[in-house]
Amino acid sequence: MTISVLSDNHTGAHTPAEHGLSYLIEYDGKRLLFDTGQSDMFLKNAEAISISLTNIDMVILSHGHFDHGNGLGYLSGSSMICHPGCFVKRYRKSDHTYIGLKNSKEELSLLFDLITSAEPSKISEKIFFLGEIPRVTDFESQTTSFVFEDGSPDYVKDDSGIVILLPEGLFVVTGCGHAGIVNTLGMPGKLQVSTPFMA
């Protein structure tokens, strides 16, 4: 398995940074783009480190915040999977600035073969999209600094990730992990996968 960091909060030796996230994950014969950051920086950084983003099998959106999905508008042609709740209008509670996606579900449906699922979904024999993460712990995700358009609390129920089956065990990839990492790590049990966990 190879994971290339295309964009995150820290600069690389040859790449600038922005608040957000984008990974290229290569495993099990698949090339997966996990999040796209908030701009086209992931494309520029990929070029700077000689990584081709042609022939992407699937784009995975971890959740519907601008810093993880606004780069989607710079792509087209592959499949994309996300939780159906990614497309809501959402704001910061403190100053009501918009923090949702720039592109609507309809716009992204024109760019991608769009799949939305709140349930776990198989990407390949060894890679699964986790869908909606149940909030079962009593110490995670109890408060939120985000609200919906009507002012009601937004707990980012669309937060998701993927699980990768490695020979050594399970490898879990998250975005922000708004659902809580313990809740997220509990999800592979729903997939009836019985190999040991790998952090």
User: What string of pLDDT tens digits covers the 199 residues of the chain?
Assistant: 999 999 999 887 888 899 999 999 999 999 999 999 999 999 999 999 999 998 999 999 999 999 999 999 999 889 999 999 999 999 999 999 999 999 999 999 999 999 999 999 999 999 999 999 999 999 998 899 999 999 999 999 999 999 999 999 899 999 999 999 999 998 766 665 544 443 3
Whole-model pTM: value is 0.92
Count CA atoms closer than 13 A to 72's CA, side-chain side: 37
Residue 175: Cβ-neighbour burial (10 angstroms; 0-12, 13-18, 19+)? buried
3-state SS of 18-84? CCCCEEEEEECCEEEEECCCCCCHHHHHHHHCCCCCCCCCEEECCCCCHHHHHHHHHCCCCEEEECH
Domains of the chain, first to last: 2-198 (3.60.15.10)
